[in-house]
Amino acid sequence: MNQTRHNQPRHTPEPADEPVERRPGVDPAADAGDEPRQEGEAQDQAQPDEALDPAARIAQLEAELEATKDRLLRSLAEMENLRRRTERELDEARKYAMTGFARDLLEVADNLGRALQSIPDSARGDIGFVRNLAEGIEMTQKALMASFERHRIAKVEPAPGDRFDHNLHQAMYEIETDQHAPGAIAQVLQPGYTIADRLLRPALVGVAKPPSAGSGGSGGGDGQAPDESAGQGPGRRLDTTA
């Protein structure tokens, strides 16, 4: 009998179900049905384009592609314009950065030329220190002109008879003469200068005009300005704005 008791299988008690936590005021059945509904809404939101017509979808994509291409082309054009404008500004800065300084040096060049013109040729040959002084002034003038040339500063010095160019010359007065064509340059008062391709200072000139009937064609014919003390001549038309 004891053996029979030992051979009988022992039953292990099953654990009791854990109590389900319930939220107050919420139906468990309704709470359980929320998850499928939320998953369905997420799937509907994730696939909004599938409901569109294929032709409409293609048209939409082509419109977006065209808009993107247009923005890209506009950006490339703006960058190209910026590059060209920057190159032009840099080139102008290199050419004309010293314009003000060069304009101040023109007076120095004029004074050197006047100094050489004021020395008589006879004094250069007879007096030693005058000859040395003239040679020193000439060397200084040549050095200044060489410096001008290195910085693309060119001298504008027309000759009598040349055609008047309002881009390079400034007329100070008119000279009655028959030796030059009307409107041509009859006398040069002061040379001009250009820097690169821009005018730095115009050349001051006297312009020829036909002689009057009573002058007999000799007024100012020697290329010199008529005598202003006679009540005629260019002095009354002097351009004081230069």
- 230 and 179 in a common domain: yes
Stretch 123-139: mean pLDDT, rounded? Answer: 86
Residues 68 and 112 occupy one common structural domain: no
Residue 240: band (very low, low, confident or very high) from pLDDT cuts 50, 70, 90: very low
**Stretch 88-110: mean pLDDT:** 88
Q: Is the same domain home to 217 and 170?
A: yes
d(C-alpha 190, C-alpha 199), whole Å: 15
Across the chain, mean pLDDT equals 77
Condensed to tens digits (0 to 9), the pLDDT of residues 19-77 reads: 555 555 555 555 555 555 555 555 555 455 555 688 888 888 999 999 999 999 999 99
| Same domain (yes/no): 233, 162 | yes
For residue 84, being part of any structural domain is answered with yes
- Please check the confidence at residue 13 and state whether its pLDDT lies above 80: no
> In degrees to the nearest 10, what's the CA dihedral of 104, 224, 207, 156?
-30
pTM of the model: 0.57
How many angstroms separate the CA atoms of 131 and 116, rounded? 11
**If pLDDT is split at 50, 70 and 90, which confidence band does 235 have?**
very low
What's the pLDDT tens digit per position in 176-187? 998 999 999 999
Q: Total domain count for the chain?
A: 3
Domain that holds residue 68: 53-96
Decide if 185 is inside a domain: yes
Same domain, yes or no, for 62 and 108? Answer: no
Residues 161 and 139 in one domain: no
CA 205, distance to chain mean position in Å, is: 33
Domain presence at residue 19: no
The Cα 204–Cα 189 span in angstroms is 5
Q: What is the pLDDT of residue 211?
A: 86
